[in-house]
């Protein structure tokens, strides 16, 4: 069943000439992890805001077509109703913070959707260990590290248990170690929960191992939509549209093109390393 569906969707911001999104037709099945990529200005954030209702509720513009969440048009939801269906984690977590302590921040959203004290306690017992923020609960959310802020923002969204979680470049402002810890949380969530995750992300090394599906947005249009391996086999198309896959994937693509390798395209560094060792051993045996 499609939990999110775009149907001939277009959006143009007020006082702009071009549509930020145009001709979007897309269905996202419930429980899948979808990576959305593309260069800056491709419409990725507009895509996210169209799912969580910020468009059209908070922005003026021209909207054509439809966006459905759980079978209902987004613009037909009340804000509190849609919050139970869709949660968003932004690239700047401070933009989401409203409370003076991490604990209050995580609890805030759950209170807003009307959970009881007991329900909130049960969800805290789940989400705090998952995001590894137990030692931060008494601290102001503005004063913890960048990676910790992002995990706090993620915990606040997860605590509401929305069916769809949209990550709008959640690691854009993080160092590599903090970035990995955020994706570790997403990995655990993927294997332990049934949420649908839509991750808009530039850092492909961490995104690819989790993705069930990849979508390329470019100049407001969907250029490519496929499972990760066939998606990255379209290397020339990706490069043409300013997407640069991890070096290991590009390296094996060139080996494939030159006839030095004929196996599946490795999608992770560990897989690429193992396959390269196999190639070296094969060369040794033949020499």
pLDDT of residue 48: 95
Cα angle: 195, vertex 168, 134; to 5 degrees? 65
Distances (CA, A) of 130 to 2, 116, 186: 27, 21, 9
pLDDT confidence of residue 47? 97
Q: What pLDDT sits at residue 135?
A: 94
Q: What is the pLDDT of residue 188?
A: 82
- Nearest-angstrom CA–CA distance, 124 and 129: 8
Which string of DSSP letters, residue by residue, matches 135-172? GGTTS-GGGS-HHHHHHHHHHHHHHT--SEEEEESTTT
Q: How far apart are CA 55 and CA 257, in angstroms?
A: 43
Compute how many other C-beta atoms are within 10 angstroms of the C-beta atom of residue 120.
Answer: 16
Would you call 114 helix, strand, or coil by DSSP? coil
pLDDT for residue 54 = 93
| pTM recorded for the entire structure | 0.90
* pLDDT mean across residues, the chain: 91
Residue spans of the chain under pLDDT 50: none
41-75 confidence digits (pLDDT tens): 999 999 999 999 999 999 999 999 999 999 999 99
Provide the pLDDT for residue 96.
82
Residue-level pLDDT at 172 = 78
pLDDT of residue 200: 94
Peptide bond into 199 cis (omega under 30): no
Which domains does the chain possess?
35-57+80-244 (3.40.50.300), 246-287 (no CATH)
């Amino acid at each position: 069943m499609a939990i999110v569906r775009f149907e001939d969707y277009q959006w143009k911001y007020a006082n702009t000439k071009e549509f930020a999104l145009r001709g979007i037709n897309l269905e996202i099945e419930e429980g899948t992890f979808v990576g959305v990529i593309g260069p800056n200005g491709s419409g990725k954030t507009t895509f996210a805001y169209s799912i969580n209702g910020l468009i059209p509720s908070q922005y003026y513009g021209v909207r054509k077509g439809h966006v459905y969440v759980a079978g209902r048009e987004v613009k037909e939801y009340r804000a509190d109703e849609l919050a139970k269906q869709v949660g968003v984690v932004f690239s700047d977590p401070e933009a989401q913070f409203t409370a003076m302590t991490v604990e209050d921040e995580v609890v805030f959203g759950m209170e807003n959707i009307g959970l009881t004290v007991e329900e909130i306690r049960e969800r805290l017992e789940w989400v705090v260990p998952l995001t590894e923020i137990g030692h931060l609960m008494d601290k102001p959310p503005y004063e913890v590290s960048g990676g910790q802020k992002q995990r706090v923002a993620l915990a606040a969204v997860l605590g509401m248990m929305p069916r769809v979680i949209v990550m709008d470049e959640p690691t854009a402002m993080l160092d590599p170690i903090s970035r990995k810890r955020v994706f570790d949380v997403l990995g655990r969530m993927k294997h332990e929960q049934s949420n649908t995750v839509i991750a808009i992300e530039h850092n492909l090394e961490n995104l690819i191992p989790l993705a069930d599906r990849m979508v390329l947005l470019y100049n407001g249009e969907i250029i490519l939509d496929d499972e990760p391996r066939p998606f990255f086999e379209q290397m020339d198309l990706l490069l043409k549209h300013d997407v640069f896959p991890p070096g290991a994937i590009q390296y094996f693509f060139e080996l494939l093109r030159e006839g030095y390798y004929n196996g599946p395209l490795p999608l992770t560094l560990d897989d690429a390393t193992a396959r390269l060792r196999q190639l070296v051993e094969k060369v040794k045996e033949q020499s």
